[in-house]
A and B are shown apart, each in its own frame.
Chain A
């Protein structure tokens, strides 16, 4: 710092006297370089560096000359000093460095419970706190993981705005429980084979017990109460849950190409330019601006290719099949376990079988033939 001060430029103004030329010559003979020497009415001024000031002062007494010193670059911000360069470097480096991080992760448009669960999952993925942008896994991988953890979600939007990531979970549509209005009194029988796990009965008498294996069509809950020789048709109502396995075969091309949504970007188009096909939304601007052009949002579509291997079967195919089955099965159905039976890799196709252990209400009502 001290050293660089020595090289700061000063302006020296000297009153014009007879001995001035001799003084200036003496300066040059003392190896002092004078820059930008100009003459005004009664003054001569020049630039030199601070380092020479002691020599100049010494010579000044010899020649009996008075002068004024003006610092030129004290109020100049960008001086040619290393400290200024270091400062500039830091000035640009700090924002650049901090822009390499994701600082804020938030969950929007979710119920408090959902956002709580989601942030827990994000925490597991080490995506909760500040992390480097380039350490962030691909959006589709994050989405896959979240969807495999939260089966009640159908999609997670991932937006990135600067150093902020916003997760927006979309709930899977809840299929309304069909209200069974038929007042027909009857028994409950099994419509699938399985092992009974629990009952949720409103009316009726159990015929089978928990952990019993039942077959399709077997009577589960009787709607007839017998007292002595009379039998009263009372009607059974409720749900009987049973575990059963679903076997599912799949056959997929080995290479799967799919598109995911990337970032939204703003683009400008001149008024006479052709419309491009991939614009998503036109930004509202003042009317006079439409004379010049349009600004539109473009949704980037990232094409991705996945080559299936044994690991990606677990990661991709099973959750997909899971989603498919859970969609087809009635509500309250739980998939307890998934098991990959076998996978065979051909040249370009992957075939395999997956077993799902499903827990579902297997009871359906069967009217009792009352005879009279």
Chain B
């Protein structure tokens, strides 16, 4: 996969607290109006905001626009 050549390590970018980009193994757990939960590698990411607009969701890449971000929660998944 081409993006592997450029980006091997998992990465999370938050731009201006309005956009978030996540690269790496990604699973969508919950999708609701005001919150979303992703499983990213060994972590669970919970994002709360007024509204979401997923610009792109594909294998190993997520680009998400958020309005009025309230909370980003990152917790390790304990087996």
Contact = CB atoms under 8 A, between A and B. Distances in A.
Contact of B54 (A16, A20, A38): A38
Given A28-B26, A39-B52, A34 B58 contact: yes
Interface string A8-29: 0000000010001110110011
Question: Looking at chain B's contact residues, is the secondary structure mostly helix, strand, loop, or mixed?
Answer: strand
**Interface hub of A16, A28, A41, A46 (most chain B Cβ within 10 A):** A28
A33 B57 contact: yes
A30 to B, nearest CB: 8
Interface in A172-225: none
B40 to A, nearest CB: 12
A78 interface: no
A34 B31 contact: no
B55 A31 contact: no
Contacts of A28: 26, 28, 57-59
Interface residues of B, number: 18
A49 to B, nearest CB: 12
Contact of A34 (B27, B30, B54): B54
A interface, size bucket: 20 to 34
Contacts of A31: 58-59
Interface in B23-79: 26-33, 37, 51-59
A35 interface: yes
Contacts of A306: none
Contacts of A142: none
A90 interface: no
B58 A24 contact: no
Contacts of B32: 39
A37 B59 contact: no
Interface string B1-32: 00000000000000000000000001111111
Contacts of B54: 34, 36-38, 46
A24 B28 contact: yes
A33 B31 contact: no
A35 B55 contact: yes
Nearest to B58: A33
Contacts of A44: 31
B56 A24 contact: no
A16 B52 CA distance: 15
Contacts of B51: 39
Given A29-B59, A32-B58, A33-B58, A20 B31 contact: yes
B24 to A, nearest CB: 12
A161 B40 CA distance: 71
A34 B52 contact: no
B30 A21 contact: yes
Given A31-B59, A34-B54, 8 more contacts: A21-B28, A28-B58, A31-B58, A33-B56, A33-B57, A36-B55, A37-B53, A37-B57
A-B complex: 8 closest residue pairs judged by Cβ atoms:
A37-B54, A33-B58, A21-B28, A34-B57, A25-B28, A28-B59, A25-B27, A24-B28
19 contacts: A16-B31, A20-B31, A21-B28, A21-B30, A21-B37, A24-B28, A25-B27, A28-B28, A28-B58, A31-B59, A32-B58, A33-B57, A34-B56, A35-B56, A36-B54, A38-B54, A39-B31, A40-B33, A46-B57
